[in-house]
Amino acid sequence: MIWNPNKECMSRDEMRQLQGKRLNKLVNYVYHNVPFYRNKMQAMDISPEDIQSIDDIVKLPFTTKQDLRDNYPYGLQAAPPSEIVRVHASSGTTGNPTIVGYTRKDLAVWSEVMSRALTAYGVTRDDTFSVSYGYGLFTGGLGVHYGVENLGATVIPTSTGNTEKHIRLIRDLKISGIACTPSYALYLAETLDKMGLSKNDINLKVGAFGAEPWTENMRSEIQERLGLRGFNIYGLSEIMGPGVSYECQEQNGSHICEDHFYPEIINPETLEQLPLGEQGELVFTTLTKEGMPLLRYRTKDLCSLMADECACGRTSVRMGRIMGRSDDMLIIRGINVFPSQVESVILEIPEFEPQYMLVVDRINNLDTLQVQVEVRKDFFSDDIGRMLALKKRLSDKLKSVLSISADVKLMEPNSIERSQGKSKRVIDKRNI
């Protein structure tokens, strides 16, 4: 099923025309309502008339998280305060939070794109759907919530916390869909186990997982343990929240709601636009947003775009999995390491739980990487020979994938802290 075939299956030509028209309108709007953009455009000697088609987008300035921080709280807002009906904020670990205001129309667009996503996963009005992203300033909870309502399914706003009660609800209300972070999905699976229940006692069919990077191996793990099919959902608060892109039944990249969010991939160093298929930093322009529209917002997320036809019938450009964020990338002894690479390796070895932590340090001027990983209950033993062999198996695999050696530390079952929201997998002591 396709929620909005008019938009999701538009011909490429028509889509580009629509994007051009919307970009032209957007540039006029921000030029006249956001001094930040007017100043930037004037400094670059461009005016709204220079932007006629979507190809002209390369003439426009970029926007960064730092720009949002510098203009905290409402400096980049284009709509007057009386038009803003909701505000979300993304925390970030340092500096001012990013404040995002939505108009009534922005919220309608958000529900629309979320309904597209849920429909692509196979969710219908007959489903009962639990939203287990945090409700509050984080966009996950309310964003998915209104999408489920807009679609007409029944929403159960479980949020996070109280996982045992949640599992009882999943069982008793025959909840068929769930949205949460992949790490919370694992935590649910563990709790199910602890309660003496299994996937056969519940009726979950669909999971909408996102808000943090996850790998194919993680998908198989969660699917196996919860007995559902897991789909990717991507988004970021600055652009909207969840629903910027979503997987379909083909699960070959995530379809971008391109009529609202125009994607580009750039080389993060030269800032040049890269051709389709190449890996680089993802950049979005919000084509229809009223509250806080952004021109060429640099997400720092690294991925590639695909435009070949998808068997599902949707024509939109798709994005591959997020490899990581450019600011998550660890440089260890000069070599680039993404936590997701380590995750993939760990999940290929059945003796390990998908629970791990990377500890990076600098000892005697040399970077060190320690990979702490939990051994599964049924494999954990005091047979030292067995444990050493397991440790060596992981070290060798990591070495061949990462090209640097890592010190593997085997951990007891349940010793690494579980996360209900976005998980933290790296401790970089070099920055402390």
Check residue 210 for interaction with ligand DLL (CB under 6 A): yes
Q: Which strands make up the sheet holding 177-180, listed edge to edge?
A: 154-156, 128-131, 177-180, 206-210, 229-236, 241-247, 254-256, 318-319, 305-306
Tell which positions 361-400 bind ligand DLL, by CB under 6 A.
none
Tokens of 39: 């100043």
Distance of CA 224 to the CA centre of its chain: 22
Give the residue with the Cβ less far from ligand DLL, 7 or 145.
145
Query: What's the DSSP call for residue 44?
Result: T
The gap between the terminal CA atoms of the chain, to the nearest Å, is 50
Alpha-carbon gap, residue 299 to 64, rounded angstroms: 8
Check residue 280 for interaction with ligand DLL (CB under 6 A): no
CB of 213 to ligand DLL, least distance (A): 4
Check residue 100 for interaction with ligand DLL (CB under 6 A): no
Q: Nearest residue to ligand DLL, using CB?
A: 210
CB of 146 to ligand DLL, least distance (A): 13
CB of 384 to ligand DLL, least distance (A): 38
Tell which positions 237-276 bind ligand DLL, by CB under 6 A.
237, 241-242
Tell me the CA distances in angstroms from 306 to 273, 277, 301, 312, one per residue in order: 15, 6, 16, 14
Tell which positions 158-187 bind ligand DLL, by CB under 6 A.
none
Q: How many residues does the chain have?
A: 432
Give the residue with the Cβ less far from ligand DLL, 142 or 402.
142
Residue selected from 234, 246, 262, 352 as contacting ligand DLL according to rule CB under 6 A: 234
Distance of CA 361 to the CA centre of its chain: 27
Residue selected from 20, 101, 207, 235 as contacting ligand DLL according to rule CB under 6 A: 235
Residue selected from 3, 133, 246, 352 as contacting ligand DLL according to rule CB under 6 A: 133
By rule CB under 6 A, what string of x and - marks binding of each residue 325-354 to ligand DLL? x-----------------------------
Query: What's the DSSP call for residue 62?
Result: P
Check residue 139 for interaction with ligand DLL (CB under 6 A): yes
Residue selected from 34, 170, 294, 322 as contacting ligand DLL according to rule CB under 6 A: 322
Do you find a cis peptide bond into 73, omega within 30 degrees of 0? yes
Residue selected from 106, 258, 301, 343 as contacting ligand DLL according to rule CB under 6 A: 301
Which residues touch 261 (CB under 8 Å, ≥6 apart)? Answer: 239, 240, 244, 245, 284, 285, 286, 287
Check residue 15 for interaction with ligand DLL (CB under 6 A): no
Q: What are phi and psi of 154, to 5 degrees?
A: -90, 125
Give the amino acid at 175.
I
Tell me the CA distances in angstroms from 340 to 213, 215, 337, 398, one per residue in order: 7, 7, 9, 12
Site residues for ligand DLL per CB under 6 A: 90, 133, 139-140, 210-213, 232-237, 241-242, 299, 301, 322, 325
